[in-house]
Chains A and B, each alone.
Chain A
Amino acid sequence: MSPRSQFMLGIRTITPVIVGLIPFGLISGVVAVEAGIPPEAAWSMSWIIFAGAGQIVMSQLVSAGAAAWVIILSASVVNLRMLMYSAALAQHFRTFSIGVKALLGYLLTDQAFVVSVNRYNEHPDEPPTLKAWFYLGAALALWLPWLITSAIGAWLGARIPEEWGLLFAAPLSFIAIWVPGLKDRPLVVAAIVGGAVAVALAFLPNRLGLIIAAVAGIAAGYGYEEWQR
């Protein structure tokens, strides 16, 4: 396999996933603009942050008037799951220079992680360079449509009146990724506790309740799993 064919294989493998990404890209642009973020800043989130859930959280909290530190903490916590991906991919990328690693790191997403790890599990003995080319193909095939669809979303958002209530698409987009992920009972416990605490503490200033609820949910899921063993 040549680098070029590995790169193309990465693109082909991730293509079906891209279709599912389109509504999230559009919504991330729309809700950012509806939240009052200028369109050029709304679009720039897509290449500066490049993480759908984090971007939508940010828009939601900006429109809710949350404190800056709550926005920063919440948007980052949503992206914390990528620590796991980084840890899992690290061994495959260990031979590269720090610059190449930075590029590979910047492009890391849920989707690129999943298709690459599947590939590496099936072909563990492939040389690191070929592994990286596969990853790059998959990651870039996701990066470009993300920038395009969020730009279209930002453009649309600037033209859709606020009365349409499109900001409600933010929690709906979360539901679309949240519900299918509740695969076992500890995860359901984490979700129920996190949701209930957030509702109970919704009247705290600056959306402080969100942080407390997230910690409570994670602790509940973890504790339940311990207790189950």
Chain B
Amino acid sequence: MDIWLLILIVGVLTFLIRFSFIALVGRVGLPEHLQRALRFVPAAVLAALIMPELIYRNGVFSPIRLAAGTVAILVAWRTKNAIFTMTAGMIVLWVLQGMTGV
């Protein structure tokens, strides 16, 4: 699919998510069950996006990525600082790639 079309579709859907209740107010609220389920969306989706990336590189197990990702998770947990987290992860990745020549 054309990348512009893809961007446009995601853009429209994202707008509809944002606009939803602001547009409909007074008529409907968010059901309690849905609200409670939505709370888990970021934790579950981000985990599903992150974990395979930390374990595989092009479908092969990558200890370097796992090490870099583990360091980043620890830094995020201790500091809650985005810049420290990303910098630490990239530095570990580059150092290990340099050492192993991968």
Is A123 located at the chain interface by the 8 A CB criterion? no
| Given A105-B15, A176-B76, A179-B73; A89-B22 close (CB under 8 Å) | yes
Is A196 located at the chain interface by the 8 A CB criterion? yes
B76 CB contact (under 8 Å) in A60, A179, A197: A179
> How far in angstroms is the closest Cβ of chain B from A122?
21
Q: Is the CB of B41 within 8 A of A81?
A: yes
Q: Is the CB of B23 within 8 A of A58?
A: no
Give how many A-B residue pairs fall within 8 Å (CB-CB).
265
Q: Is the CB of B45 within 8 A of A91?
A: no
Query: Complex formed: what's the CA distance from A180 to B85 in Å?
Result: 11
Query: What 0/1 pattern do residues 45 to 82 of A give for CB contact below 8 A with B?
Result: 10011110110011010100000100110111111111
Interface size class of B (residues with CB under 8 A): 35 or more
> How far in angstroms is the closest Cβ of chain A from B12?
9
Q: Is the CB of A175 within 8 A of B38?
A: no
Q: Which of A41, A51, A179, A187 has the most CB of B within 10 A?
A: A179
Chain A residues with Cβ under 8 A from B21's Cβ?
83, 86-87, 89-90
Chain A residues with Cβ under 8 A from B83's Cβ?
23
Query: What 0/1 pattern do residues 12 to 38 of B give for CB contact below 8 A with A?
Result: 011101111111111001100011111
Is B48 located at the chain interface by the 8 A CB criterion? yes
| Given A82-B18, A90-B25, A190-B40; A195-B51 close (CB under 8 Å) | yes
Is A169 located at the chain interface by the 8 A CB criterion? yes
Q: Is the CB of A168 within 8 A of B90?
A: yes
Is A20 located at the chain interface by the 8 A CB criterion? yes
Q: Which of B22, B42, B50, B73 has the most CB of A within 10 A?
A: B22
| Given A72-B13, A169-B90, A213-B48; A187-B43 close (CB under 8 Å) | yes
Beyond A23-B83, A195-B47: 6 further Cβ-contacts under 8 Å?
A24-B82, A72-B13, A77-B45, A81-B41, A181-B46, A191-B43
Q: 9 closest Cβ contacts across the A-B interface? A: A217-B44, A105-B19, A194-B44, A195-B51, A195-B47, A48-B11, A90-B25, A221-B40, A179-B76
Interface residues of chain B, those whose CB is within 8 Å of chain A, are 1, 3-4, 6-11, 13-15, 17-26, 29-30, 34-56, 59, 65, 68-69, 72-73, 76-77, 80-83, 85-86, 89-90, 93-94, 97
